[in-house]
Amino acid sequence: MHVYSVIIGTHNLSNSLKCLRNFLSRQKFSSRKFSNMSQKINQNKTYISVEIPEVNTAAGKGFTRIFRRKIKTEGTDPSINKSQIKRLFSLARPEKWKLAGAIGFLLVSSTVTMSIPFSLGKVLDIIYNTSDNYDEAKSKLNKVCGVLLCVFILGAICNFGRVYIMSTAGYRMTNALRRQVFSSILKQEQGWFDKRPTGELVNRLSADTQIVGSALSQNISDGLRSLVMVCAGTGMMFYMSPELALVGLAIVPPVAGIAVIYGRFVRNISRKVQDSLADSTKVAEEKISSIRTVKSFGQEPREIECYNKSIENVLKYCYREAKARAVFYGMTGFSGHVIIISVLYYGGVMVSSHSLTVGHLSSFLLYAAYIGISVSGLSSFYSDLNKSIGAASRIWEIIDRQPIIPMQGGVVPIHPLEGHVEFKNVKFSYPSRTDVEIFKNLVLDIKPGQALAVVGPSGSGKSTLAALLLRLYDPNMGAVFLDNQNIKDLDPAWIKKHIGTVSQEPILFSCSIRENIIYGAEEPDKITEEHFLRVCKEANVYEFVQQLPDGFETVVGERGIMLSGGQKQRVAIARALIKDPKILLLDEATSALDAHSEHLVQEALERVMKGRTVLTIAHRLSTIQNADVIAVLQDGEIVEKGKYQELISRDGPFKELIKHQTFQEIQE
Ligand X SMILES: Nc1ncnc2c1ncn2[C@@H]1O[C@H](COP(=O)(O)OP(=O)(O)OP(=O)(O)O)[C@@H](O)[C@H]1O
Q: Which spans of this chain sit near ligand X (rule: CB under 6 A)?
A: 194, 430, 432-433, 438, 456, 458-464, 617
Instruction: Give the shortest CB-449-to-ligand X separation in angstroms.
Output: 24
Helices (H) and strands (E) in the chain — how many of each? 26, 13
Q: Which is nearer to ligand X, 189 or 275 (CB)?
A: 189
Instruction: Give the shortest CB-45-to-ligand X separation in angstroms.
Output: 17
- Which secondary-structure segment (H or E) carries 603? helix 595-609
Distance in angstroms (rounded) separating the CA atoms of residues 399 and 515: 30
Contact 509, 516 (CB under 8 A): yes
Instruction: Give the shortest CB-584-to-ligand X separation in angstroms.
Output: 17
Contact 508, 572 (CB under 8 A): yes
Q: Which is nearer to ligand X, 189 or 208 (CB)?
A: 189
Q: Which is nearer to ligand X, 102 or 617 (CB)?
A: 617
Q: Which is nearer to ligand X, 178 or 462 (CB)?
A: 462
Instruction: Give the shortest CB-407-to-ligand X separation in angstroms.
Output: 19
Which of 409, 199, 154 minimizes the C-alpha distance to 310? 199
Distance in angstroms (rounded) separating the CA atoms of residues 108 and 119: 16
The one-letter amino acid code at 484 reads: N
Q: Which is nearer to ligand X, 243 or 665 (CB)?
A: 665
Strands (DSSP E) contained in 294-408 are none
CA angle, residues 654, 655, 658, in degrees to nearest 5: 85
Which of 573, 571, 593, 594 minimizes the C-alpha distance to 584? 573
Handedness of CA 19, 20, 23, 24 (dihedral sign): negative
Q: Which is nearer to ligand X, 459 or 557 (CB)?
A: 459
Instruction: Give the shortest CB-467-to-ligand X separation in angstroms.
Output: 7
Burial per residue of 575-611, b for 16 or more beta-carbon CB atoms within 10 angstroms, e otherwise: bbbbbebbbbbbbbbeeebeeebbebbbebbeebbee
Q: Which is nearer to ligand X, 186 or 304 (CB)?
A: 186
Contact 484, 661 (CB under 8 A): no
Q: Which is nearer to ligand X, 317 or 430 (CB)?
A: 430
DSSP helix/strand/coil, 250 = coil
Q: Which is nearer to ligand X, 196 or 488 (CB)?
A: 196
Instruction: Give the shortest CB-8-to-ligand X separation in angstroms.
Output: 24
Cα separations in angstroms, 221 against 166, 211, 385, 473, 516: 7, 14, 12, 46, 45
Instruction: Give the shortest CB-653-to-ligand X separation in angstroms.
Output: 14
Q: Which is nearer to ligand X, 70 or 620 (CB)?
A: 620
Q: Which is nearer to ligand X, 313 or 432 (CB)?
A: 432
Instruction: Give the shortest CB-587-to-ligand X separation in angstroms.
Output: 7
Instruction: Give the shortest CB-60-to-ligand X separation in angstroms.
Output: 25
Instruction: Give the shortest CB-458-to-ligand X separation in angstroms.
Output: 3
Instruction: Give the shortest CB-474-to-ligand X separation in angstroms.
Output: 14
> Which string of DSSP letters, residue by residue, matches 334-366?
HHHHHHHHHHHHHHHHHHHTTSS-HHHHHHHHH
Q: In what order do the strands lie in the sheet with 47-52?
A: 2-7, 47-52, 42-43
